[in-house]
Structure 1
Amino acid sequence: MRGLFGMVAAVSLLTAGQGLAAADKQDISGLWQTVGAKSHVRIDKCSADTYCGKIVWLKEPLNDAGTPVKDIHNRNGTLRDRDILGIDILSGLEQVGEGRWDDGNIYNPEDGNTYGSELSLNEDGSLAVKGCVLFFCKEQVWTRVE
């Protein structure tokens, strides 16, 4: 009896674990490493229907003067004195299909521009991140940290 119970429990845990793994493949929430390991972005739900993301780690958080890197390229002059660390860079992303999010925006602190954005989960668990202006898009692949 004990052996049968143990086997049923093991099969139940294995099946539940597979279900969780499948669900995780459809969830972009978590910590993502950007291209070149320059930063980590935490993506979370910011409302019932949308996701957003914030820079939570920088490879080089300080400038040559030893002070925090600022958002110096921002189009809005009043925001150029804010720290890059902590900036919201993804906003308004809605799930539009299995493993796909669209209708959002991505802010690029390297050029100070905001672009239309869409995300999609790749088969290997990485995240394709697109930033677009009209029909011109650039894509990066981010990897999950946690």
Structure 2
Amino acid sequence: MRLALYTGIILSGGCICLNPALAADPTGDWRVADGVANIRVAQCNGSMWGAVSWEKKPGGRDENNPDVSKKNRPTLGMPTLLDMKKKAGADQWEGQVYNAQDGQTYSATITPVGTDQLEIKGCVMGFLCGGETWTRVGPPIPLSPANAMAKGTPKAPGAAPKAQGTQQAPQQAAQPPQATTGATATAPAAKTAATKPGQKSAADPVGDICLLPEIAGLAH
């Protein structure tokens, strides 16, 4: 049973000291402390969600899940941070974390520290709290295209300025897709994945985690 603790939660005593003054964007790809996986964090309809975006040892299965129907699901793309809400007055998000090691879900918080660290802390029934620090390996993720139509979600910046000029706006609106198509052919793969997180490829089989069925069904 070599499934790694993808959530990074270690249920042992200890204190994590937070530094709100250095808080930053929690979205992006993060390497867990023991280096066995990356967790992609994105904002999906107002909440932060996280899913496994890379595994050091491919082919993992969620074999410890108490739900028999999920025991054979791939750990790649598996939701780990669940519906985490912004805490009022603090750069911290509260919600739940799924622990693949024991198949249980716990209360948890995530707190960005600077631009390249994310501290995660989880508790069992309000005690036995512990956690660790993840390291950034991917840039912050823009708001998911899947959420552009979500209720209460602001429309993408640039839509309003394009509205000036009644007849020119449609022409300008039609231009970006053509420019993007041309750029895709010459741009490096890494840049394409960063600008289009919903696009899946051999290098990034997960894509936009907001579009994963298990997240989309709860986030929208």
Same-fold call, TM > 0.5? Answer: yes
Name 1:43's counterpart in structure 2: 41
- Partners in 2 of 1:145 and 1:98 — Cα distance? 24
- Partners in 1 of 2:102 and 2:132 — Cα distance? 16
Name 1:89's counterpart in structure 2: 80
Q: CA deviation at 1:132?
A: 1.1
Name 2:28's counterpart in structure 1: 30
Name 2:212's counterpart in structure 1: none
Q: Deviations over 1:6-43 (max 9, x none)?
A: xxxxxxxxxxxxxxxxxx94310101000111100110
Name 2:108's counterpart in structure 1: 117
- Partners in 1 of 2:28 and 2:60 — Cα distance? 24
- Partners in 1 of 2:90 and 2:135 — Cα distance? 19
Give the alignment's TM-score, normalised by structure 2: 0.49
Native 8 Å contact 1:106 1:116 kept in 2: yes
Whichever structure has more strand as a proportion of its residues is: 1
Native 8 Å contact 1:56 1:86 kept in 2: yes
Q: CA deviation at 1:108?
A: 1.1
Native 8 Å contact 2:111 2:118 kept in 1: yes
Name 2:67's counterpart in structure 1: 76
Give the residue type in structure 1 aligned to 2:98: Y
Select the residue among 55, 59, 77 that pairs with 1:58. 55
Residues paired across the two proteins, number: 115
- Partners in 1 of 2:117 and 2:52 — Cα distance? 18
- Partners in 1 of 2:116 and 2:60 — Cα distance? 30
RMSD of aligned alpha carbons: 1.7
Give the residue type in structure 2 aligned to 1:40: N
Name 2:132's counterpart in structure 1: 140
Q: CA deviation at 1:125?
A: 3.5
- Partners in 1 of 2:68 and 2:33 — Cα distance? 27
Q: CA deviation at 1:133?
A: 1.1
- Partners in 1 of 2:31 and 2:69 — Cα distance? 28
Native 8 Å contact 1:41 1:54 kept in 2: yes
Q: CA deviation at 1:124?
A: 6.7
- Partners in 2 of 1:90 and 1:58 — Cα distance? 16
Q: Which runs of 5+ in 2 are unaligned?
A: 1-21, 139-220
Q: CA deviation at 1:123?
A: 4.2
Q: Deviations over 1:88-133 (max 9, x none)?
A: 111111111442111x111111111111110112247311101111
Q: Which runs of 5+ in 1 are unaligned?
A: 1-23, 62-67
Q: CA deviation at 1:145?
A: 0.6
Select the residue among 85, 89, 93 that pairs with 1:101. 93
